[in-house]
Amino acid sequence: MHRFTLVRLPTAAEAAQRVAAAPQTRRFRAGGIDLIDHFKEGLDAPDELVELRALGGAEGERMRGITEHDGVWSVGALVTLAQLAEFGDFGPAFAAIREAAGSAATPGIRNAATLGGNLLQRPRCWYYRHADLECLKKGGGQCFALTGDNRYHAVLGGGPSFIVHPSTLAVALLAHDARVHVVGPKGPRSLAVAELFSPPTVDPTREHTLAAGEIIVAIELPAAGAQQRSSYAAAKEKQSHDWPLGEVAVRCRVEGGTLLDVRVALGHVAPIPWRAREAEAVLEGKAPSAALFVQAADAAMAKAKPLDHNGYKIPLTKGLLRDALHRATGVAIPE
């Protein structure tokens, strides 16, 4: 195992400066799950880890807490998936976030894995995870998945890399129009969660838009009306210890028998958490029904382009979306 130094600094500003000064050899450490996997897999060997859990000051405090002000929730980047899964105060308006957190990984991993690290974990593509293969994501010349075993790869928005984004929480946060608060060497800024993720057409070696040294401090969830509901659905080969084959998060409200403010986000189908705007357009302003949900599911996957081995993701994701819509709206599933 490569030797590294663990560095504890008092403030987020100092931590940001520290990593920005040598981004090739320094990394932030949160729960350490994906970071240490990279060391073990021979994919990364930094000299220094800056321990985010040691940060003090106002940002350090915000990173560890879940707070509410005027209906707006702030969830710290160091909050673990287990804490999120058990957080009852969200109520049904943010149910998808609790359900997503509780479905990811295993109980042991959820106890250590943090929200910030979950959003920034690297892809699971087995060609990327193989230390001896230099694919596009590692600066090489080709995508091995395109002609290889691509059963877990993208059916929407793929190319030149066909990864699927691995973060379960990203899908739920996208459905909630969350904002990401960041502190970096140039100070604080905030961005929509959709702007955090970057498609491989921009740069196949990167999945996010953070600059070197930028730290996610917290995720903010916009205030929800009393009628807001959300739900999350996933399908896996194994119920525990596994990333999903497909996942869906839905947010909406039903007022006067009409669906409003509908958001549909899909996971494990595209290189970024995928907003299914075509499905939203089918649903918005209509009366919820099983027949409408079938139309929305068809619309969500209408532009899918399967590779040789991942066509199953299309019916699978359609079924998950119908399930999530039934649960969010309370419309009974037909016999």
- Pairwise CA distance, residues 189 & 194, whole Å: 15
C-alpha to C-alpha distance for 314 and 300, rounded to whole angstroms: 9
Residue 243, both tokens: 């990333």
Q: Is 243 in the site for ligand FAD (CB under 6 A)?
A: yes
Number of residues interacting with ligand FAD: please give it, by CB under 6 A: 31
Task: Give CA–CA dist 215/13, Å, rounded.
Answer: 9
Provide the mask over 195-214, with x wherever binding to ligand SF4 is found by CB under 6 A and - wherever it is not: ---------x----------
Stretch that binds ligand SF4, among 17-25, 29-37, 136-144, 290-298 (CB under 6 A): 136-144
Instruction: Examine residue 117 and tell whether it contacts ligand FAD (CB under 6 A).
Output: yes
Q: Write down the residue that tokens 């990811």 correspond to.
A: 104
What's the one-letter identity of residue 121? Q
User: Of 54, 85, 109, 294, which lies in the binding site for ligand FAD, with binding defined by CB under 6 A?
Assistant: 109
**φ and ψ at 329, to 5 degrees?**
-100, -15
- Residue from 161, 168, 228, 230 touching ligand SF4 (CB under 6 A): that is 161
30 binding ligand FAD? (CB under 6 A):
yes
Note whether 125 binds ligand SF4 by CB under 6 A: yes
Which among ligand FAD, ligand SF4, none contacts residue 136 (Cβ within 5 to 8 A by kind)? ligand SF4
Q: Whole-number minimum distance, CB 328 to ligand FAD, in Å?
A: 21
What DSSP string describes 33-84? HHHHHHHHTTS---SEEEEGGG--HHHHHHHH-EEEETTEEEEETT-BHHHH
**Nearest-angstrom CA–CA distance, 259 and 137:** 40
Asked if 113 interacts with ligand FAD (CB under 6 A), we say yes
Q: Which does 35 bind (CB under 5 to 8 A by kind): ligand SF4, ligand FAD, none?
A: ligand FAD
The reply to whether 307 sits near ligand SF4 by the rule CB under 6 A is no
Which of 191, 275, 179, 260 has the alpha carbon at shortest distance from 225?
Answer: 260
Which ranges of 227-301 does DSSP label H, i.e. alpha helix? 277-283, 290-300
What span, in angstroms and rounded, lies between the C-alpha atoms of 76 and 63?
Answer: 4
CB-CB contact of 261 with 267 (8 Å): no
Q: Does residue 243 interact with ligand SF4 by CB under 6 A?
A: no
Please identify, among the stretches 29-37, 83-91, 145-153, 157-165, the one whose residues bind ligand FAD according to the rule CB under 6 A.
29-37
Minimum CB–partner distance for residue 6 and ligand FAD (Å): 12
Token pair recorded at residue 198: 């970057």
Assess 136 for contact with ligand SF4 (CB under 6 A).
yes
Query: Token pair for residue 166?
Result: 């691995």
- Residue nearer to ligand FAD on the CB measure, 85 or 292: 85
Q: Which is nearer to ligand SF4, 139 or 187 (CB)?
A: 139
| Closest residue by Cα to residue 7 from 51, 37, 39 | 51
Task: Report if residue 156 touches ligand SF4, rule: CB under 6 A.
Answer: no
144 binds ligand SF4 (CB under 6 A): yes
Question: Which of ligand SF4, ligand FAD, none does residue 279 bind to, with CB < 5 to 8 Å depending on kind?
Answer: none
Q: Is the dihedral of CA 189, 192, 194, 199 positive or negative?
A: negative
Q: Which of 163, 248, 249, 254 binds ligand SF4 (CB under 6 A)?
A: 163
- As measured in angstroms, the least distance from the Cβ of 177 to ligand SF4 is 28
Q: How far is the CB of 163 from ligand SF4 (least distance, A)?
A: 5
Report the helix count and the strand count for the chain, using DSSP H and E: 13, 12
Q: State the residues that interact with ligand SF4 by CB under 6 A.
A: 123, 125, 127-128, 135-137, 143-145, 153, 161-163, 204
